[in-house]
Amino acid sequence: MTVPLNSRRPSITLSVISHGHGPQVLDMLQTFIQSGLLQHWRAEVIVTLNLPEPALAAALKQTHWPFPVRILENDYPKGYGANHNQALQNARSDWVCIANPDIRWCPITAPPALTTSATGQPIGLYCPAQVSETGTPQDYARTLPTPWGVAARWAARRHNTRTPPGTASSVSQAHWVNGACMLLPAAAYHQLGGFDKGYFMYCEDVDLCLRLQLHGYRLAALSITVVHAAQRNTRRQRQHFYWHIRSLLRLWVSSTFWRYCWRTRGQHPPRPI
């Protein structure tokens, strides 16, 4: 597949981390190509191998991609935020895209409009719609995770509540969106220094969204859809549960969390739960 160069198309640097996700990374990149987005975006891809994956590295090198692909191989496993910061630190594109290896891009029906400003307020993050394998909307847009709110959410999930507490009605009404797929102006990402690498896993996306808003940016929906299975490893693996609890505690004692609480007090919607 050959994509003609067009200087009017925005440039995107897509960062994806593989932690033994080889086949999913390849599938994600193929659906990215098939989505039709390359007709409107000029893309480059950076794949970080957080663990040795010679088969994935070979497949990435041997495949003829319609965009440049760079491979980073870690000497030791790093956290989610540290990996993306490492990959994007020298990005010179207009936008940076954080994408999980387990998402699949859906075909677009219209060109996605990207702008860094709308209604007089700069946009710091776009979030595509996320759906399950069956097309059911996922709860990717959330309200502020407070201790009592997180407890209510876990209880609701245990009892299979259809819409768990903490779900926002839309991206524009959300305090944060999950990091499965997010698109940011490169200038905003670099202004904030990227993710806080003090979070090894979990809550990096919360912290980034709160800091963006504290710097005057807003969150916005992007008119594309991705399929995300949302494995919820916290409830299945003890190590992930530990990482989640540790990250929540770090978030709740951070100045970012309390400055955001103070700034948004009395604002409806959304409201912290």
* The pLDDT value given to residue 233: 46
Q: Which of 146-150, 158-162, 176-180, 249-253 has the lowest mean pLDDT?
A: 158-162
Which of the residue ranges 89-103, 109-123, 192-206 would you say has the lowest mean pLDDT? Answer: 109-123
What is residue 153's predicted lDDT score, i.e. its pLDDT?
66
Q: What is the pLDDT of residues 226-245, one digit of tens each?
A: 999 766 544 556 777 888 89
Of 69-73, 110-114, 219-223, 261-265, where does mean pLDDT reach its minimum? 261-265
Is 272 a residue whose pLDDT tops 50? no
Given this model, what pLDDT does residue 162 score? 60
pLDDT greater than 80 at residue 152: no
Residue 271 predicted with pLDDT over 50: no
pLDDT at residue 1 tops 90: no
153, 166 in Cβ contact below 8 A? yes
Q: How many CA atoms lie within 13 A of 49 on its CB side?
A: 19
The DSSP H or E segment spanning 61 is helix 54-62
**Secondary structure of residue 83 in the 3-state scheme:** helix
pTM over 0.85: yes
Question: Among 7-21, 29-43, 152-166, 198-212, which stretch is predicted with the lowest mean pLDDT?
Answer: 152-166
What are the pLDDT digits (tens) for 34-77? Answer: 999 999 999 999 999 999 999 999 999 999 999 999 999 999 99
Q: How far is CA 159 from CA 228, 238, 245, in A?
A: 22, 20, 21
CB 41 within 8 A of CB 11: yes
